Amino acid sequence: DAGVIQSPRHEVTEMGQEVTLRCKPISGHNSLFWYRQTMMRGLELLIYFNNNVPIDDSGMPEDRFSAKMPNASFSTLKIQPSEPRDSAVYFCASSFLAAPSGNTIYFGEGSWLTVV
Amino acid sequence: TQLLEQSPQFLSIQEGENLTVYCNSSSVFSSLQWYRQEPGEGPVLLVTVVTGGEVKKLKRLTFQFGDARKDSSLHITAAQPGDTGLYLCAGGRVNAGNMLTFGGGTRLMVKP
């Protein structure tokens, strides 16, 4: 079975450039998450969609970050303009909301972003 | 500020030793999950506990949810090099959908 698919796996870009990260969730899942992971701050939730609708975006660092989910099988996380402090691993994850709590979340392999 | 505090942050042990990793919070969670993350990959779910006092075993791994559902522990018996990785606990709350609060992680290295 295909898991959560993210692209690109690695990206190196110059400060000021636009970065777009892509995610294809597991088919049938109705929840999608974007996380950012760094050594200093650990795993942080950026935004959470349920049924393609953003439910909580309080973790989005600032206006330079935006996320969309135009349909159930695709989401993007965009950073414009990018800054060196955005360098991190960005994970997309998906889940099916079947129970009030304790549902399994499946993570992609991550997009490793380096902004120089 | 981490709502879920994990300890220790780093642990380096020899193959065959036992270890315990702790996940503590002042908040009550309706569920507690443990994930393991290997280098270059995303976290993978190991177990979910939902009942206060619940104990689950997964081969050499034993997971416990505190009676008050504020803390959890992961005990590994006879650690092996394959257990090396980042262990993350994550708490869920009812009516929060699938949103989880992750701890800072415990980075475990098991040396042969």
| pLDDT above 80: residue B60 | yes
What does the block give as tokens for B30?
A: 């309706």
Q: What is the DSSP annotation of chain B?
A: --SSEEE-SEEEEETT--EEEEEE-SS--SEEEEEEE-TTS--EEEEEE-STT-EEEETTEEEEE-TTSSEEEEEESS--GGG-EEEEEEEE-TTSTT-EEE---EEEEEE-
Please check whether residue A9 touches B, CB under 8 A: no
Instruction: Assign 3-state DSSP to chain A and report helix, strand, coil percentages, each to 5.
Output: 5, 55, 45
Task: Please state the rounded mean pLDDT for residues A69-88.
Answer: 97
Share the mean pLDDT of chain B.
93
In this structure, the strands spanning A88-95 and B5-7 are unpaired
What pLDDT does A2 receive? 81
pLDDT at A61: 86
Amino acid at A75: S
CB-CB: which of B30, B42, B99 is closest to A108? B42
More confident residue, B72 or A41: B72
Q: Does B43 touch chain A (CB under 8 A)?
A: yes
pLDDT of residue A15: 97
Structure tokens at A73: 């099988």
User: CB-based contact (8 Å) between A93 and chain B?
Assistant: yes
B54-58 contacts at long range (C-beta below 8 A, 24 or more positions apart): none
* A108 has a chain B CB within 8 A of its CB: yes
Chain A residues whose beta carbon lies within 8 Å of the beta carbon of residue B100: 45, 105
Burial group, residue A31, by CB count within 10 angstroms (0-12, 13-18, 19+):
buried
- Average of per-residue pLDDT across B72-91: 96
Question: What mean pLDDT value characterizes chain A?
Answer: 93
Q: What percentage of chain A carries pLDDT values higher than 70?
A: 97
A108 has a pLDDT exceeding 90: yes
Q: For the segment A80-106, what is each residue's pLDDT rounded down to a tens digit?
A: 999 999 999 999 999 988 776 678 899
Q: What is the pLDDT of residue A5?
A: 97
Q: In whole angstroms, give the CA distance from residue A98 to residue A71.
A: 20
Q: Is B103 in CB contact (< 8 Å) with chain A? A: yes
* Cβ contact A2:A25 at 8 Å: no
Q: Is it the case that residue B78 has pLDDT exceeding 60?
A: yes
- Rounded Cα gap, residues A27 and A96, in angstroms: 10
pLDDT of residue B98: 73
Going by their DSSP bridges, the two strands A53-56 and B5-7 should be labelled as unpaired
Segment A58-70 mean pLDDT = 93
Contacts of B94 in chain A (CB under 8 A): 100-101
Q: Mean pLDDT over residues A64-70, rounded? A: 97
pLDDT digits (tens, 9 = 90+) for A12-30: 999 999 999 999 999 999 9
For chain A, say whether B58 makes contact (Cβ under 8 Å).
no
**Tell me, what's the pLDDT at B3?**
83
With bands split at pLDDT 50, 70 and 90, how would you rate the model's confidence at B62?
Answer: very high
- A82 to chain B nearest CA, in Å? 23
Q: Which residue in the set A43, A95, A109 is minimally distant from B98, CB to CB?
A: A95
Cβ(A34)–Cβ(A23) under 8 Å? yes
